[in-house]
Amino acid sequence: MTTTSAQAVPRAVAVARLEEQWREQRSLRSWFATVDHKRIGRRYLVTAGAFFGLAGIDALLLRTQLARAGGDVLSPDQYNQLFTMHGTAMIFLFATPMLFGFGNALVPLMLGARDMAFPRLNAFGYWVFLFAGLIMFSSQFLGVAPNGGWFAYVPLTDLPYSLGRNLDVYTLGLIFLGVSTTAGAINFIVTSIKLRAPGMSLNRAPLFVWAIVATSFMVLFALPALNAANALLFLDRRFGTHFFQPDAGGNTLLWQHLFWIFGHPDVYIIVLPALGIVSAILPAFCRRGVAAYPLVVLATITIAIISFGVWVHHMFATGLPSLSLSFFSAASVLITIPSGIQVFAWVATMLFGRIVVRVPLLFVVGFIVTFVMGGVTGVMFGITAFDMQITDSYFVVAHFHYVLFGGAVFPIIGGLYYWLPVLTGKMASEVLGRWAFGLVFGGFHLTFFPMHLSGLLGMPRRVYTYPTGLGWDPWNLLSTIGSYVLAVGLLLVVLSVVLAVARGPRAAVDPWGGDTLEWAATTPPRPYNFASIPQVFGLHPAWDRRTLSRLETDEVLPGHQALLTSELDARPQRLVSMPEASLRPLLAALALLVVVLGLLWAVYWLAIAGVVATIVVVVGWLWPPQLTRAEAEAA
Amino acid sequence: MAAVLVALCLAGCAGSAPSTLDTAGTGARRVEGLWWFMFWISVVAVLEVLLLLGWALWRRRRDTRVRAGDAMPFVGVLGVGLPFIVLVAVYGVGLRDLNALIRPPAGPELSIEVIGHRWWWEVRYPDTAGAITANEIRIPVNQTIRIRLTTADVQHSFWVPQLMPKTDLIAGRVNETWLHAERIGTFRGVCAEYCGLQHANMSLIVTVQPEEEFTAWLRDLAAPPARDLTEQQRRGQAVFEAAACGACHTVRGTTATGTIGPDLTTIGSRWSLGAGAAPNDKGHLGGWIVNPQSLKPGNQMPPQPVPASDLPDLLSYLETLR
Amino acid sequence: MLSALATVAAAVVAACSTPPTPPAEVPGGDPARGAQLIAELGCGSCHSVPGVRDAHGLVGPPLDHFGRRAYIAGELTNNGANLQRWIRDPQSVEPGTAMPNLGVSEIDARDIAAYLLTLE
Amino acid sequence: MTTIRSTARGRRLGPAFSWFGVVGGAVAWSVHLIAAWAVDELTCGAGRATVAGVPLVAVMWVAVIVPALVTAAALAVSALVWRRESAAARQRADRGYGRTGMLGLVGLGANALFLSIIVAGGAAVLVLPVCQP
Amino acid sequence: MTGKLFTESTAPEALAAEPAPRSTGWWGMVGFVTTEAALFAVLLGTFFYLRFQHGEPWPPREIERPQLTVPLIMTAVLLPSSLPVVWAERGIRRGQRWRLRLGLAATIVMGLTFLSLQVMEYQTKLREFTFTTDVFGSLFYAITGFHGLHVAVGLLILSWVLAASLRGSFSSHKHERVSLAAIYWHFVDLVWVAILFTVYLSQHL
């Protein structure tokens, strides 16, 4: 497997040499050029967290406007921009990138690999995400933010009903962002297929990895629908095509189909990795592996597939034939089965294990409660007759916040507390964390539970104001109060993380006793993750004496090398060398940014210049190294 | 549990809300039944999980044994078997109710065309020539009314929560729904699909009347009876006709035949101005005419700077249009 | 976010603060009821009136600091009795004014005047 | 139970069987959904009740029954895989789930789920009119 | 016979057989091509959705059914262009760099011919209708244009491989990038068949 000469070197010397080879200079260039998946993962988390803050402030303003009937904190146009940006940013700029951040930081560690399969592509993906986010948020400060709702239904978003640049920011921004998401997804898939530690056959892959891989496959199939829809809308708006204009033979329902073919899988693209986080956290605090592992894998896979067959339940009121709706209704109702499997697997894990209550577990428990409540209302929306009555009311707002905040944000915060030692080497304060949990959990339910009621009372969503005397006032006031409590709780989360990084105690090695490989590395891990590539013998390698002892004694894999293994059973295949840090990913992302800005401002020579620059950078990036003389002679 | 109590109190506390749980229409009543069926199932499901979680947290912190055995039977029964039975039942009931929603109780006795505009509702009674109104629908009680839904611009959604689940108004399509009110009363409806700047102010009122009252109203709507006008009201009519009002609005029996804005033949008896933006009284109407943009920013009506001395006359004329 | 917090705080304070005391010029007037009447009658669709919801009309003059105004409509000196007269029948004070006669009762006019005169 | 010996040809075809057992139902359901939905929406939208002369309701039944049969076949294959594997696992030392065994179980569950979804869609064909009146 | 085959194929060791492992680059390119294929599937689905929602007459208004001569010639040029790539790839596996260069050059010439034919096709079509004429025009130019863009990118990639090989890259051991470029070209090639069917042939059914 490795060269014989390596065995002659004592282990300590080999490790020291490895340290030298992987050390990153503390320079500005190195900061921009790094391809270390842990640093990139942290950047994803911080950037997505910042976008979460901005979109959260949007939400607070919206709730302030709605605190009383006839509120006049915001103008109608401001309100419409804010709710559109809130939704768009939370879905596209917070949830997915945040979870990709966890994936970036953790997947290679959990697999026992040294980095992602394509480290430079990974860096490129981050930069593109950052630039797309900056474009979209800067539009808000310039007052030209998208204002068509996050699903941007035509004809409202098409000419002649939406002039101005607002919707161009939306279409171009999301296509640009899609580049990043697609790159990330391919990277996760290849990493998980090819870089698993020897012995980690499919039946031993961590559930979080299953979730990330399932998500990535969903991205590959779902995102093209969004990109195509946005491209067609951009062409309609900018170049006068007629895809969505009925007068010239187009069709407005086409947008809804295309958007939701992406949109509903996207809900699970957000929720699945979060469920994976839950499955990763539980073993450490229940002192046993997640119950019914094969069933949870089954659930992950089937959710990923069925989620592509439920999109029309967003269109139950469009007047399509009710028979064609029912095929989607059937899938929407029965997709609950795999979700139920996961919930009861977690409950079983807790029932059959020994529980240690720490902050991450609190957030998991809060997640299960909230997610189950969002799940039961989800079943209701799968029923066509009920959906036709309640959709587009505040009940729907309540439902999807239970699913998305409950299903994604609770696990994300739990994961943040759980993996803070891996990410930063520090421990967060338990006391502050418990306060944060209490405020977030209480504030969340105070904000969103009343929305079920205002929805049942007939309050439509996306209204900037409402009249008094319809029974909606008290529930809206409660929601607004709750949103401020929730905001305080979230600020406490941020505070506890900042405090931990600034002056928290250094984390012990494997402080929680987790079962996956990231806890078998040092805390925090070295740039090369593992000096020797781990051997896996079971589902819980970090609890496995065989794996741990061999990590100490196996020979060190020298240099910037990684071990490829076979796809299904993870048999060792061959060594490959990993790329070094490079500025090219950043340059490529900048060139693409020029293309997007050129299109946005309708300065087409700029866009063309950007395309040329992109080609130049990418050609340089991928230029194959010239053969060495020995290789040339061999050839 | 608190959740349950709050929800139970809903029907009582709702007051004059357009509540889906205080229904008066055949379609909405069926969905109300469906809701309570699913609601109780949901309560049981949530309680089950809460109890198991509570038990785990309370019991398993003390018990130090870790049961290694795999929990397949537990997950299989509680996570697959039970939910499957419940979900199939819910799906079946839902299918039954959907079937009821697409088959109105009796053959349609009246047709109404509803056309969505940014941001108001045009209502036409095609069987009675000239019967056009805006932002209000009157229907006779205990009859099935067929509603034809189209839009003049962007997508809207027609929702009268107490009468019938919503149906979208989609550009390039004609959608249909029906109303069947089981009691007399007024019921608030809204546009439920986001349609731009003033989506919040796009409401309508459905007034359910005894059949004779409705027939009389419809007759008067189509051919308004001659009105005796006072001196001031006649002056107001002259102002109305002299100003550009007729370019956008219609008042049947006068020279005003515009079709861009709502038909004003019965403006005096409407429930609101600007599809719910303001109450319909002299004070609001005066402000609305001169500067509609402050009451409903962004609506399509431009400010009408009528001469100051004419405004009171105009208002007194408009009040007579009932 | 701070501004948002401040707004909520202001809203809460406004909702809980004690009603203004009636000005001496309108004996027996109820300013709180007057404010409500101003909202119901739609005065706000023409005038901006501080403290009245949705009252930011730009058709007629703004009514802030009304208690310190010298004249009503440039015709009458501003006092309780004149104000009530104006509110009940503006046409009789200034023929040709755009302000319509809204048919305000005597008691209602007293309360409205009471509120307007509290706007210092 | 005696061990079944395999041949080189068997080893070439085996993975195909195995994967049909895992994803057969998913593929069949996707075809069912796309076909049934698109044919129904587009035919009704055009105001017709037949597709190339065949009544729409008959097309719907084909779009339900054929995928259901394929899914049932995949279910049978995954059941067989699962049985063979658990028999083999009993003879192994660790008795855990092998990779094939886990995939067999996943196929078993997935196919059962997809079959139920297709059957539930079939129930709708039984109850509802193909186009709205 | 089939019974025996069935028994052989479902023996545990047969079921557990693992195919030969692939490289990370191969999986990456396959992933990329998959998502691209999904994108084309969405576009072609859009075509059929709009076509059937529109109803007769199709193409709407004054646009005539597209002539088939030029597109069939284009197909005859593009489809076989995958063969030289296969030949070139097999050549470099044996270390024959001349076969790589010759094969790539042949494919590039065929691809360029295809693009020139497309330009000609556009010149005739633009006289008849543009992308703003109606929805058929929009679909026609969007779909064929998007595919043309892919052909151009494919040509760029092949030229890049050719340039690298002229500079002395690639050998019998190191030729992964050749294989990856080949995958992309085959994809661009195959998608054309679907487009030909959708945009041209299906109009005559």
Question: Confidence class of residue A630 from pLDDT cuts 50, 70 and 90?
Answer: low
Peptide bond into E57 cis (omega under 30): yes
**What chain B residue is nearest to C60 in terms of C-alpha separation?**
B287
- Which residue among A118, A185, A635 places its CB closest to the CB of E171? A635
E runs forming strands in B26-170: 110-117, 120-124, 132-134, 136-140, 144-151, 156-160, 164-169
The highest-level CATH class for domain B231-320 is mainly beta
User: pLDDT tier at B68 (50, 70, 90 boundaries)?
Assistant: low
Q: What is the mean pLDDT of residues A348-353?
A: 91
Does residue A281 carry a pLDDT above 90? Answer: yes
Query: What is the mean predicted confidence (pLDDT) over A585-611?
Result: 95
The pLDDT value given to residue B1: 41
Dihedral through CA A378, CA A379, CA A384, CA A386, nearest 10?
A: -80
Residue A620 C-alpha, separation from nearest chain B C-alpha, in angstroms: 47
Residue B17 confidence (pLDDT) above 70: yes
Q: CA B286 to CA C97: how far, in whole Å?
A: 12
φ, ψ for residue B151, nearest 5 deg: -125, 145
φ/ψ region of E22 (left if φ > 0, alpha if ψ in -120 to 50, else beta) reads beta
- Residue A385 corresponds to which tokens in the numbers above? 């007759």
**DSSP line for B195-227:** -STTGGG-EEEEEEE-HHHHHHHHHHHHSPPP-
| Per-residue pLDDT, C4 | 47
Q: Report pLDDT for A3.
A: 44
Tokens of E121: 């096709």
Residues of chain D positioned with their CB less than 8 A from the CB of A302: 26, 109-110, 113
Cβ–Cβ of D130/A298 closer than 8 Å?
no
The pLDDT value given to residue C13: 44
pLDDT mean over B21-48: 95
Rg (CA), chain B: 26
Please give the Cα distance from B33 to A569 (Å, whole number). Answer: 53
CA A284 to CA A349: how far, in whole Å?
11
The pairing of strands B144-151 and B175-180 is: antiparallel
Q: What residue segments make up the domains of chain A, in order of their start?
A: 36-544
Q: Can you give the pLDDT at residue A11?
A: 86
Which of the four pLDDT bands, split at 50, 70 and 90, describes residue A477?
A: very high
CATH class of B20-48+78-223: mainly beta
List, for residues C21-46, the tens digit of each pLDDT value: 667 777 888 888 888 888 888 888 88
Instruction: Identify the contact set of chain B against chain C, taking CB-CB distances under 8 A.
Output: 278-279, 281-288, 290-291, 294-295, 306, 308-309, 311-312, 315-316
Lowest-confidence segment of A264-273, C58-67, D114-123 by average pLDDT = C58-67
Question: For B220-269, what is each residue's pLDDT tens digit?
Answer: 898 888 888 888 899 999 899 888 888 899 998 888 888 899 999 999 89
What does the pLDDT read at residue A634? Answer: 56
Give me the mean pLDDT over the A103-121 stretch.
95
Q: What is the DSSP letter of C18?
A: P
Q: Report how many Cβ contacts below 8 Å link chain A to chain D.
A: 96
- Chain D closest-CA separation from residue A326 CA (Å): 6
Residue D59 above 60 pLDDT? yes
Per-domain residue ranges for chain E?
A: 23-204
Give which of A68, A78, A79 to mutate to test C binding, by max C Cβ within 10 Å.
A68
**What CATH number was assigned to the domain covering residues E23-204?**
1.20.120.80
> A75: distance to nearest CA of chain B, Å?
9
CATH number for the domain including C13? 2.60.40.420
Find residues 93-112 of chain E whose CB sits inside 8 Å of chain A.
95, 97
pLDDT > 50? residue A608: yes
Q: How far is D133 from chain B, CA to nearest CA, in Å?
A: 8
C7 in reach of chain A (CB within 8 A): yes
Report the residue of B193, B271, B272, B284 to disrupt the A interface, i.e. the one with the largest count of A CBs within 10 Å.
B193
| % of chain D exceeding 70 in pLDDT | 90
**Model confidence band, residue C17 (pLDDT cutoffs 50, 70, 90):** very low
Contact call for residues E201 and E75 (beta carbons, < 8 A): no
Q: Which ipTM value was assigned to this complex? A: 0.90
Cα angle value A584/A586/A590 (rounded, 5°):
115
According to the model, what pLDDT value does residue E193 have?
Answer: 95
pLDDT range class, residue B13, cuts 50, 70, 90: very low
Task: Tell me, letter by letter, the H, E, C secondary structure of E46-83.
Answer: HHHHHHHHHCCCCCCCCCCCCCCHHHHHHHHHHHHHHH
Q: From CA A522, how far away is CA A551, in angstroms rounded? A: 11
Local confidence band at C19 (pLDDT 50, 70, 90 cut-offs): low
Q: Tell me the C-alpha distance between C48 and C57, whole Å.
A: 5
Q: Are A385 and B79 within 8 A, CB to CB?
A: no
How far apart CA A218 and CA A250 sit, in angstroms, is 28
Ramachandran region, residue A471 (left: φ > 0; alpha: ψ -120 to 50; beta: rest): left
How many domains would you assign to chain C? 1
Out of A242-251, A389-398, C63-72, which region has the weakest mean confidence (pLDDT)? Answer: C63-72
Do A594 and A564 form a contact (C-beta atoms < 8 A)?
Answer: no
The CATH architecture one would assign to domain A36-544 is Up-down Bundle (1.20)
Average pLDDT over residues E195-201: 93
Suggest the residue from C3, C8, C12, C16 to mutate for an interface test with chain A (most A CBs closer than 10 A).
C8
pLDDT, averaged across chain B: 88
Across the interface, do D120 and B103 touch by the CB < 8 Å criterion? Answer: no
Domain boundaries defined on chain B: 20-48+78-223, 231-320
Is the predicted pLDDT of residue A308 greater than 90, yes or no? yes
Nearest Cα of chain A lies from the Cα of B159 at a distance, in angstroms, of: 8
pLDDT in tens, A67-90: 998 888 999 999 999 999 999 999
Per-residue pLDDT band at E85 (split at 50, 70, 90): very high
Q: Which chains are adjacent to chain D, needing at least 3 Cβ pairs under 8 Å?
A: A, B, E
Q: Which of E8, E15, E16 sits opposite D7 (nearest CB)?
A: E8
Whole-angstrom distance, CA of residue B3 vs CA of residue A200: 46
Contacts of A27 (CB under 8 A, 6+ apart): none
Q: A156 and chain B: CB distance < 8 Å anywhere? A: yes
Instruction: Calculate mean pLDDT across residues B33-37.
Output: 96
The pLDDT of A299-328, averaged and rounded, is 94
Q: How confident is the model at residue B5 (pLDDT cuts 50, 70, 90)?
A: very low
Check CB contact under 8 Å for A77 and B298: yes
**Best residue of B155, B177, B179, B293 to probe chain A, by most A CBs closer than 10 Å:** B155
Q: Assign C107 to helix, strand or coil.
A: helix
In chain D, whose CA is at the least distance from the CA of A300?
A: D106
Residue A398 reports pLDDT greater than 70: yes
Residue A268, C-beta contacts closer than 8 angstroms, at least 6 positions apart: A215, A218, A303, A304, A307
> Is pLDDT above 80 for E98?
yes
Confidence of residue A48 (pLDDT cuts 50, 70, 90): very high
Q: Does residue C74 belong to the interface with chain B, where contact is any CB pair within 8 Å?
A: no
Mean pLDDT value across residues B63-83 = 82
Cβ-proximal residues to D127 (8 Å cutoff; 6+ apart), any chain:
B95, B96, B99
CA distance D61 to chain A (A): 12
Q: What is the DSSP string of A377-425?
A: HHHHHHSHHHHHHHTTBHHHHHHHHHHHIIIIIHHHHHHHHHHHHHHHS
A61 touches chain C (CB under 8 A): yes
State residue C2's pLDDT score: 40
- Residue predicted with more confidence, C38 or D28: D28
Q: How many helices (H) and strands (E) does chain C have?
A: 5, 2
E15 and D85: CB-CB below 8 Å? Answer: yes
Position A2 confidence tier, pLDDT thresholds 50, 70, 90: very low
**E57 vs D: CB within 8 A:** no
CA dihedral B211, B217, B222, B228 (to 10 degrees): 150
- Checking if the pLDDT of C14 tops 50, the result is no
3-state secondary structure of B112: strand
- A406, pLDDT greater than 80: yes
* B18 in contact with chain A, both atoms CB, cutoff 8 A: yes
Q: Please, what is the average pLDDT of chain A?
A: 92
Phi/psi for C86 (5° steps) reads -60, -45
- Write a three-state SS string for D87-126: HHHHHCCCCCCCHHHHHHHHHHHHHHHHHHHHHHHHHHHH
Reading the block at residue A417, the tokens are 């507390």
**Which residues, at least 6 apart from C66, have a Cβ–Cβ distance to it below 8 Å?**
C78, C116, C117, C119
Taking CB atoms and an 8 Å cutoff, what residues of chain C touch B278?
42, 45
Residues of A in contact with E174 (CB under 8 A): 624, 627, 631
Helical (H) or strand (E) element with E180: helix E176-195
Where do the domains of chain D lie? 22-127
User: In whole angstroms, how far apart are CA A384 and each of A339, B132, B148, E160, E201?
Assistant: 20, 33, 21, 54, 38
Express the helix, strand and coil content of chain D in percent, nearest 5 each. Answer: 75, 5, 20
Reduced to 3 states, what is the DSSP secondary structure of residue B160?
A: strand
What pLDDT is stored for residue D2 in this prediction?
Answer: 45
**Minimal Cα–Cα distance from C43 to chain B, Å?**
6
Q: What is the mean pLDDT of residues A294-318?
A: 94
Averaged pLDDT score across all residues of chain E: 90
Question: Does pLDDT of C8 surpass 60?
Answer: no
Please tell me the predicted confidence (pLDDT) of residue A4: 45
- The helix or strand, by DSSP H or E, that contains position B188, with its residue range, turns out to be strand B185-191
* Pairwise CB contact (< 8 Å): A354 & B98: no
Cα nearest neighbour of B306 on chain C: C98
d(CA A483, CA D18): 51
pLDDT confidence band for D1 (50 / 70 / 90): very low
What chain B residue is nearest to C96 in terms of C-alpha separation?
B309
Instruction: Average the pLDDT over A300-326 and give the result.
Output: 94
Chain D stretch 33-72, residues whose beta carbon is closer than 8 A to a beta carbon of chain A: 33, 36-37, 40-41, 44, 60
CA triple C58-C62-C68, angle to 5 deg: 175
pLDDT digits (tens, 9 = 90+) for B108-128: 689 999 999 999 999 999 998
Residue C1: pLDDT over 70: no
Q: Is the pLDDT of residue D23 over 70?
A: yes
Residue A142 class from Cβ within 10 Å (0-12 exposed, 13-18 middle, 19+ buried)?
exposed
Instruction: Say if residues A274 and A412 touch (Cβ distance below 8 Å).
Output: yes
Chains E and C touch (3+ CB pairs under 8 A): no
Q: What's the length of chain B? A: 322
Q: Positive or negative CA dihedral for A554, A558, A560, A562?
A: negative
Q: What's the mean pLDDT in A257-277?
A: 95
At residue A110's C-alpha, the angle toward residues A108 and A112, to 5°, is 65
Question: What pLDDT digit, counting tens, does each position of B179-233 carry?
Answer: 999 999 999 999 999 999 999 999 999 999 999 999 999 998 988 888 888 888 9
By the CB < 8 Å criterion, does C107 face chain B? no
Q: Residue B48 in 3-state DSSP?
A: helix
**Inter-chain contact C5–A484, Cβ cutoff 8 Å?**
yes
What pLDDT, on the 0 to 100 scale, is given for residue A77? 92
